[in-house]
Amino acid sequence: MYSLHAMADQRDPRLDPSTVDAVLFDLDGTLMDTDDQMVENLALRLQRLGSPRLYRNARRLVMIAETPANALMTALDAVGLDTPLLGIWSRLRNLRRDGEKPSYRMMEDADRMLADLKHRYSLAVVTTRRREAAEAFLAQHSLCDVFDVVVTREDTLRLKPHPAPIRHTAELLGVQVERCVMVGDTVVDVKSARRAGAKAVAVTCGFGERAELERAKPAAVLEHVSALSSIL
């Protein structure tokens, strides 16, 4: 079980609900439980290799790989190669699936949190996933009507950590970017929000580790995305 503890000492005074009109969500590791799926897939493969020790440490292996992956995404963004290379990666993954329809998990209690926030804010998705995959996740969990806007990697020339996706989302919602909160599980999400002028909330239920998220200086750090409604 997770704890709903929100780090009050990490919270920025600007995260007053009266200063917020819209809440923007990353998918992987934030609303979508991609992390645990990756761990389970890796663990299964390691088990088949007959390595009990590696099987027990599957989560640690995934976490070790995540920080360099985020750093690579930032570097690719800096030279403008993030969008084309992600497109190539997706096509390769689709070929490997050989037509298999993906199934997506949602973070525990995320649906309740979204239902609570929907009554008070405009909600949006901001993801580096393809639109097809993002919409498949939303449809699978009956979330299509929850979000006013879905921004994917097809919608902007630059991806997170560039500010373009956040600014574009705010424009589509018709709200000032300064009155938006971006919720994500990586430094990439926090940097994108801060560069755009939006507020950032980081969650540790996904790919990022608390120490690196705190160094990025979000307005708040939560142990789980479902705790968001307790601070907004």
The model's pTM? 0.74
Q: What is the pLDDT of residues 114-140, one digit of tens each?
A: 999 999 999 999 998 889 999 999 999
Q: When comparing pLDDT for 14 and 64, which is higher?
A: 14
Cα 182 from Cα 178, distance rounded (Å): 10
Terminal Cα distance for the chain, rounded: 23
Burial of 135 per CB tally in 10 Å (0-12, 13-18, 19+): middle
The amino acid that residue 130 corresponds to is: R
Q: What is the CA radius of gyration of the chain?
A: 17
- Which of 39, 30, 28 is closest to 218 using CA atoms? 30
Higher pLDDT, 79 or 219: 219
What are the tens digits of pLDDT across the range 148-206?
A: 999 998 899 888 889 999 999 999 999 999 999 999 998 989 999 999 999 999 999 98
Which structure tokens are listed for 167? 């600014």
Task: Compute CA 170 distance to the chain's CA centroid, rounded to the nearest angstrom.
Answer: 17
